[in-house]
Amino acid sequence: MRTLNIETPTHGRALVKSGINSATPRVVIVGFHGYGQNAEDMMAELEAIPGAAADGRILVSVQALHRFYAKGEQKIVASWMTRQNREEAIDDNLGYVDRLLNEIGNQFDELIPDFILLGFSQGVAMAYRAALLGRHQVAGIVAVGGDIPPDVKSVPAGRWPRLLIAAGRTDHWFTPDKVAADEAFLQSHGVAHTLLRYDAGHVFTDDVRAAIGAFFTNA
């Protein structure tokens, strides 16, 4: 028995919200949700960040391509990938986000805004990949509750943008060992970064939102 991998087009979806007077945006904040969430969930988190919807900013929440129904619910949620066809899924996701950022950029004539990519949980790997392996230069990465995927670690330090990592002290997924491994890699690779450790688990908190808001202010 052999396996055939067949490429086929599909459609993704993203939510876009403009701040006040954002006809000429300076910053586009792009969010990637975690496993079992959707674009609405991530948009709610983006909107809760202090100053995220300020003048000159646009919020974009990207929904993963692989949809399913939440267990016991009618809510539609999504996942970025599984172990099956992993490499093909990475390529599909990168192409999807590249096309989305092209579409966002094309709406603003010759102005090229700064893109800041924010990932939570499973979406962290997607934020890193889109920023470091995608076609668009980005101004910053925010990683909440997720580690650096191995396939971006060969990207030269000069390609890495500003980086904020948020790690809950009791996070069952982004464990202290994973946090330490990411810190060691970034230090050895010469990548400037800020690490926020906060007293909670695998969630956003007000401390995290405040730190992200300050990160956005410097964009």
Q: What is the pLDDT of residue 109?
A: 60
Q: Summarize pLDDT for 135-144 with one digit per residue, the tens.
A: 999 999 999 9
pLDDT score at 206:
97
- Per-residue pLDDT tens for 79-101? 999 999 999 999 999 999 999 99
Domain presence at residue 3: no
Of residues 56 and 63, more confidence is placed in 63
Cα 39 to Cα 77: distance, rounded to the nearest angstrom: 8
Of the two residues 118 and 53, the one the predictor is more confident about is 118
Could you tell me the residue range of the domain that residue 160 belongs to?
13-217
Q: Which one, of 160, 140, 169, 167, lies nearest residue 52 by Cα?
A: 140
Asked whether residue 8 is assigned to any structural domain, the reply reads: no
Q: Residues 155-185: pLDDT tens digits?
A: 999 999 999 999 999 999 999 999 999 999 9
Domain annotation covers residue 1: no
Neighbours of 209 (CB within 10 A): 19
How many domains is the chain partitioned into structurally? 1
Tokens of residue 139, six digits: 């101004």
Backbone angles phi, psi at 135, to 5 degrees: -85, -10
Q: Which two tokens stand for residue 48?
A: 């809760």
Residue 66: its pLDDT value, please?
94
For position 61, which CATH number holds? 3.40.50.1820
Is 128 domain-assigned?
A: yes
Report the share of the chain in percent with pLDDT over 70: 94
In a domain, 74, yes or no: yes
pLDDT tens-digit readout, 7-30:
888 899 999 998 655 556 678 999
Average pLDDT on 179-204 reads 97
6 lies in a domain? no
Largest Cα separation within the chain, whole Å, is 59
How far is residue 115's CA from residue 59's CA, in Å, rounded to a whole number?
10
Is residue 5 assigned to a domain?
A: no
Q: What is the pLDDT of residue 174?
A: 98
Both tokens of 169, joined, read 């002290």
* Cα–Cα nearest to 212, from 199, 196, 192, 190: 196
In a domain, 43, yes or no: yes
